[in-house]
């Protein structure tokens, strides 16, 4: 893919040049509801994004989750998953009771077609942590954004 580098006064923007540009947000989901985490990976409510994908496009998926460990010491994981629980991207944080932290995951996908869905899952690793929850509100929501960033 060649980038658009030559622009002159009066030039016409071609379809090929337009197709090199990002098409913007394909879908987004956010929640302002806290979720009590467990030692089993679970989908977070209201974080499902479904969009119609084009196999010739590249998509950037970004998930952001804040959490608090309320009892114990260990790791919390959050990530982007398919509805069938296939991991697309995942990140983790280690902490102890009283820890406030955030996890941001980014993934790039291409070759997708038709209706595609992705959702955020989270959990703590049982054994060290005995209680943790997401921390989310209107100012700091848990969010999943899917962006079309250009040709694949």
> For each of the chain's 152 residues, which pLDDT tens digit applies?
556 666 778 878 788 888 888 999 999 999 999 999 999 999 999 999 999 999 999 999 999 999 999 999 989 999 999 999 999 999 999 999 999 999 999 999 999 999 999 999 999 987 788 899 999 999 889 999 999 999 99
Q: What pLDDT is attached to residue 16?
A: 82
In terms of C-beta density within 10 A (0-12 exposed, 13-18 middle, 19 or more buried), how is residue 118 classed? buried
Entry pTM:
0.89
């Amino acid at each position: 893919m060649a980038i658009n580098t030559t622009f002159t006064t009066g030039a016409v923007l071609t379809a090929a040049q337009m197709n090199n540009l990002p098409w913007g947000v394909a879908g987004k989901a956010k929640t302002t509801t806290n979720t009590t985490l467990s030692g089993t990976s679970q989908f977070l409510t209201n974080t499902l994004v479904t969009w119609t994908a084009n196999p010739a496009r590249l998509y950037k998926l970004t998930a952001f989750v804040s959490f608090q460990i309320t009892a114990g010491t260990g790791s919390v994981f959050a990530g982007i998953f398919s509805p069938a629980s296939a991991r697309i991207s995942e990140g983790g944080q280690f902490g102890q009771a009283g820890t406030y932290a955030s996890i941001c995951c980014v993934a790039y996908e291409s070759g997708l077609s038709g209706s595609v869905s992705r959702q955020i899952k989270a959990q703590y690793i049982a054994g060290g942590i005995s209680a943790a929850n997401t921390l989310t509100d209107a100012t700091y929501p848990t969010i999943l954004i899917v962006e079309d960033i250009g040709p694949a």
